[in-house]
Amino acid sequence: MRVARLLAIGLALAMVASGCTSEPSLKEAAAELQKDTQRLETNDVFKNPLKKLRILQRPDKDIRCDKDKFKRVLRATADYVRINEPLDAHLDQAQTLMENTLAQALGYKLEFDFSQMDAKEGRFIYGAKSDPTIKVTVYVAPEAPTWRLHAVTACLPR
């Protein structure tokens, strides 16, 4: 009787553990990245035609990245016109605007790199979502287009 109870408890724990550690499918990650594309296009900042949002690569095609695993990619650019302001101030504003959009509108957790705080040659913004796993990198450039966004899902089974 005791052995049967221990086996039942062990089996239940194994089932719970396996459910918690299973990775999402490509379908789930692709759906999330497609939602991010729509959120970006309908965001108050980027739907403004002056921002010149261009989706260069939509996350609608599977890209093989490993045996029986695939990923999806979103690439976009947009511009933040510099109007008679110092370059450092322009980059600060563009970086802050993109960080707010990624964190608040798209739900990414950002990594902050204070070593590039005053870099005039450009800055990188790194962010991620953990469920499903999507990583985003945005280059904030001193020249147009100001923002160069690259988001990619993890390498996942279909």
| Tokens describing residue 133 | 């796993």
Residue bearing the bigger pLDDT, 45 or 3: 45
pTM: 0.82
Please give the angle made by the CA atoms of 146, 97 and 105, to the nearest 5 degrees: 115
User: How far from chain centre, in Å, is Cα 2?
Assistant: 49
Residue 111 forms part of a structural domain: yes
Q: Taking residues 137-145, report their average pLDDT.
A: 97
Q: How many domains, in total, are found in the chain? A: 1
Question: For the chain, what is the mean pLDDT?
Answer: 88
Q: Residue 40 sits in which domain range?
A: 26-157
Write out the H or E segment, with its range, that includes residue 148: strand 147-153
Residue 30 forms part of a structural domain: yes
Give the whole-angstrom CA distance, residue 57 versus residue 6: 53
CA count, 13 A, side-chain hemisphere, 37: 22
Q: Taking residues 144-153, report their average pLDDT.
A: 97
Residue 14 forms part of a structural domain: no
